[in-house]
Structure 1
Amino acid sequence: MGLAYNTIESPHYKVVCIYQNFDRSRLNVQIYSSDTKRWKILDDTLDLSNNHVPFLTRGVYMNGGMYWSPINNPIDSWYCFKLDIEKFKKLELPSSMKKACSTSVRYFGESCGYLHLAEMDRLKGCLYVYEMMHDCSDWVVKYEVEIVKLMVEFHKSVWCNWCIGRLEILDIVRGEEQEEENTFMVLKCCREIIGVNLLDKSFNKLFDIVTRDTYGRTMESHRYVAI
């Protein structure tokens, strides 16, 4: 179940319900519109005959579409749902993610109308942030961070694969068009939260985590909080 809502475009919202049919061979879609106050059953469905049921988790709404994280999904089973045409659309991962066993997806999210994927190459000690093209046809490497070099400089100590394994990307926030130099990434490393500018590669510690070590647990981040 997903809620698609952009108050800049319209005062109305839509609720998207995606579910398996009785024999689990297809994904069906129903859409509720606050404008018509009715549910609509779509004719377009997603065939599951390849036995790959996509994990529809960590969804984001962007440019008239619902996108879900490719993490834990098979390479050939990553889709988005385009609300403007009310159809599923198959998506492709960056080519390096399809074949490089030394890499792993560490982040999926949206900021300022851009969809981002981040992968870690442990062999090179680099973190790559991809940006999806607006027509969803391909990905481009938007930012590259020599994460091991940066962390060694930050901690003034040697970093290893064990340390990389404990690194989490909590968020990637793009600056506005005229302020792209303010684009930054928020990392969790052990008990520290670190901010990294993705253009000039400067960094600073935002705060320490004073609770028990959360290794093995996935942290959720929220950009907007009530104050």
Structure 2
Amino acid sequence: METQLQSSQQTKSAEIAASIDYLLTEILLRLPIKSVIRFKLVSKHWFHLISDPSFCQLLNPNRNPAVGLFLQLSTANFGEDHQYNGYEFVPFHPNKSTEFIKDHLPSGVRILQSCNGLMLCCSLITANNGPEYFVYNPTTKKLSILPKPDQTNGISETIRGINLAFEPVKAFHYKIVSVRSLESDSSFKIIVYSSETHSWQEQSHPFTSAASFDKGVYWNGAIHWMDTVGNAESLYFNVATKALRNTPSLPLTYTTRCKRDNYFGESCDHLHFIDMRGPRVKLVVYELERDYSGWFMKYQVDLSAVVVANPTMALRRGNPMFWCGFVFEVSAVIRGEEDEDSFLVLQIPGKMVRFNIVHKTFEDLVDFDGRVVWSSLKFPNVGGFQYIQSICCV
């Protein structure tokens, strides 16, 4: 009888604890991420509850939209001061406080890719065995250093590209996809690191390709390497099936001697490409079909009004058709829940601008410190790295 009573009491206590955790979880899910992170310090129980991957998935049941961009200087501009944080944070909502974000990148690092709340970075100071790579969560300020893979049969390999694949709505773990070339020949191979197994594994047979692997984008379960010039291959590697396939040809329709970095990126599970070549401010935003049947025109954008309001964008006012004509870069295409909420983030001389694609309105996001140099960008040839709030563990 006493044993049955004790068992009943234990069951009742467990039910009470479970109900309390359920209520606590419901409350925490309604708080800003900043507050949730602070509440991890309340007790060990709160810490483990909030750190649980299932809680992270409940907190972010859908793909979160980006709330800002990190723009980073190229490594050539760092000089000898490797501790300098050569980046600028650009909030998409300037009226909201950004104190929680400003100092969320460690010193002396280079951002390689952002993916659904996590960032793949490398150290600027390289050792004899190469740079150190790590995955970083800028919201929680936690990082995980990637182990170096073993060399195959002692053959020296060169990293041609390294990318992060992370989709928290589907899995708690992330993977790192690294394309390596063998110095003995011109072939490549793909090796993948899993945060679940903490190990590297070869995922493909050696292959040859003319593609550029230095700027990959994760979308639709795959890493995509796009030829944005028009004279090489475009490939994608499905992380789950390990299939390596060709991407449909890009819609490059403008031929000119002017070369400018085209835009290629993902937002809220949409993959976009913008042909930036040529002396023009009328752009087309293309989107790739999920079944890879081809690209289609999603938006047509006319930036003429932005040029009128910001004449420093004109490279040669007397002859606007000379060379590239206008100086600007598309740092990001950000999709909203509705099309009317979608916008471009533009870098123009001296500032960053938010341009609503549907309403064709625009506003300044950030005015860079210092004198505005005519037809000059503070962060040339550097894409924006999206900042998405997340408490996912690394």
TM-score bracket relative to the smaller structure: 0.7 to 0.9
How far apart, in 2, do the equivalents of 1:4 and 1:123 lie? 35
The 1:208/1:164 distance shift into structure 2, 3 A limit, reads farther
Aligned counterpart for 1:70 among listed residues 203, 214, 227: 227
**How does 1:29-178 map onto structure 2 within 5 Å?**
29-48=190-209, 52=210, 54-72=211-229, 74-95=230-251, 97=252, 100-102=254-256, 106-120=262-276, 122=278, 125-147=281-303, 149-155=304-310, 160-161=320-321, 164-176=325-337
Native 8 Å contact 1:32 1:40 kept in 2:
yes
2:170 counterpart of 1:9: yes
3-state SS, counterpart of residue 46 of structure 1: coil
3-state SS, counterpart of residue 387 of structure 2: coil
What is the root-mean-square deviation of aligned Cα atoms in Å? 2.8
How far apart, in 1, do the equivalents of 2:326 and 2:213 lie? 24
Shift of 1:115: 0.6
3-state SS, counterpart of residue 201 of structure 1: coil
Shift of 1:123: 5.8
Deviates more, 1:99-108 or 1:189-198: 99-108
Shift of 1:60: 1.9
2:360 counterpart of 1:201: yes
How far apart, in 1, do the equivalents of 2:185 and 2:254 lie? 32
2:147 counterpart of 1:18: no
Max Rg structure: 2
Identify the residue that residue 223 of structure 1 maps to in structure 2. Answer: 386
What do the CA deviations read for 1:85-108 (whole angstroms, capped 9, x no partner)? 11221113334x1x5314865211
How far apart, in 1, do the equivalents of 2:308 and 2:186 lie? 52
Letter in 2 for 1:91: T
Shift of 1:166: 1.4
Higher relative contact order (CA 8 A, sep 6+): 2
Deviates more, 1:162-171 or 1:193-202: 162-171
How far apart, in 1, do the equivalents of 2:364 and 2:199 lie? 49
What do the CA deviations read for 1:118-158 (whole angstroms, capped 9, x no partner)? 113646641111001111221111111122x2234434798
3-state SS, counterpart of residue 151 of structure 1: helix
How far apart, in 1, do the equivalents of 2:355 and 2:187 lie? 42
The 1:20/1:135 distance shift into structure 2, 3 A limit, reads same
Deviates more, 1:124-133 or 1:31-40: 31-40
Aligned counterpart for 2:189 among listed residues 28, 43, 47: 28
Shift of 1:206: 1.9
More helix by share: 2
Native 8 Å contact 1:186 1:196 kept in 2:
yes
Shift of 1:164: 4.2
Letter in 2 for 1:78: S
Shift of 1:37: 3.4
Native 8 Å contact 1:20 1:27 kept in 2:
yes
How far apart, in 2, do the equivalents of 1:168 and 1:76 lie? 23
What do the CA deviations read for 1:198-219 (whole angstroms, capped 9, x no partner)? 1121112223222354548323
How far apart, in 2, do the equivalents of 1:208 and 1:129 lie? 26
What do the CA deviations read for 1:58-93 (whole angstroms, capped 9, x no partner)? 322111101134335x53412121112112211133
3-state SS, counterpart of residue 245 of structure 2: strand
Shift of 1:165: 3.9
What do the CA deviations read for 1:36-71 (whole angstroms, capped 9, x no partner)? 3332223433324xxx3x221232211110113433
Residue segments in structure 1 that go unaligned for 5+ positions in a row: none
What do the CA deviations read for 1:142-200 (whole angstroms, capped 9, x no partner)? 111122x2234434798624674411111110002xx2211000111111211111112
Residue segments in structure 2 that go unaligned for 5+ positions in a row: 1-161, 390-394
Deviates more, 1:213-222 or 1:155-164: 155-164
Shift of 1:32: 2.1
**TM-score normalised to the size of structure 1?**
0.81
**TM-score normalised to the size of structure 2?**
0.49
